[in-house]
Amino acid sequence: MVERVARKMDFSKARVIAEYGPGEGVHSREIARRMTPDSHLLLFELDAALARDLKRQFADDPRVHVIHGDAATLPLELNRRGFSACDYILSGIPFSILQIEKKRQAVPARRIGIFPAKYSADVHHRFSQNASTP
């Protein structure tokens, strides 16, 4: 599964990638391994213990940013780090069981241009604060 998801992402150039609910970091480690030196990976984890573990795992990798918080803060976190867009969003969050308002907070539809289906893994979106709804 990890390999299949990672294969669907283009790592040939610098990317900003967000992962919602990385848990123990299985996908995160593979993504970080494939990323270019100037790429960034933002990991959004609500569970405090898992977030601490992720911080330990990636302590020596300045490209990986562990955020102990809600995925709905993606726009704020992008802005704080000076990123204008997020190229990919990978989600471990079970969106099918979330209430519609939580889905909208995690993936604000009015600000997303969706990648063509050939680029989708779990959830891959192009997220830009300046994008308009397609």
Q: C-alpha distances in angstroms, 46 versus 21, 30, 102, 123?
A: 7, 21, 14, 18
DSSP labels, the chain: -HHHHHHTS--SS--EEEEE--TTTHHHHHHHHHS-TT-EEEEE---HHHHHHHHHHTTT-TTEEEE-S-GGGHHHHHHHTT-SEESEEEE-S-GGGS-HHHHHHHS-GGGEEPPPGGG-SSS--EEETT----
The model's pLDDT over 68-80, given as tens digits with 9 standing for 90+, comes to 998 888 888 999 9
What is the share, in percent, of the chain residues with pLDDT greater than 90? 44
Q: Yes or no: say if 74 and 38 are a contact pair by the CB < 8 Å rule.
A: no
Distance CA(66)–CA(128), nearest Å, equals 20
What is the share, in percent, of the chain residues with pLDDT greater than 70? 66
pTM of the shown model:
0.73
The model's pLDDT over 84-100, given as tens digits with 9 standing for 90+, comes to 888 888 876 655 655 66
